[in-house]
Structure 1
Amino acid sequence: MANTPQAKKRIRRNDRRAEINGARVSRIRTFVKKVELALTSGDKSAAAAALAEAQPEMMRGVSKGVLHKNTVSRKIARLTKRVSALG
């Protein structure tokens, strides 16, 4: 258990940040799911539009520190490859 005031403050801060970061990751997943849905429907223009919306959101996650840069780069590359393979 935290004894010092600073340790108690860190616990409060970590809880707040975890909530914010969780919401951010959830938002990114939603954008990726929109791309996946467009890919399964086979609509290339919708998939490309969804990917164009998802990319900045994913990179924002990198800049905020909730996702690793290489992970996001890999996911974007794979999604882009699947979108370009359509039609």
Structure 2
Amino acid sequence: MILLDVDMPRINGFELLARLKADPVMRRVPVVMLSTSQDERDIDRTYDLGANAYVTKPVDLPQFLALVAELLKFWLKLAALPTRPEA
């Protein structure tokens, strides 16, 4: 699982997401976009680019860590994932 923030230095989350989903090896890796934004345009763009989820992140550190724990639990324990990258 890859956690991306919309606002990152050097390359924004949308650009990196597009690159990941264009790569034959990386496109099957689950990507969760995190942002403090609840802008519908950001959410739509995230899904249009192939993200698996868009999550509004809390600004409080303990709540953020709890959110990450829940995401890890879902993607690494509950979700059925592909066994190998698509060629």
Structure with the larger strand share: 2
When normalised by structure 1's length, the TM-score is: 0.36
Question: Higher Cα Rg: structure 1 or 2?
Answer: 1
When normalised by structure 2's length, the TM-score is: 0.36
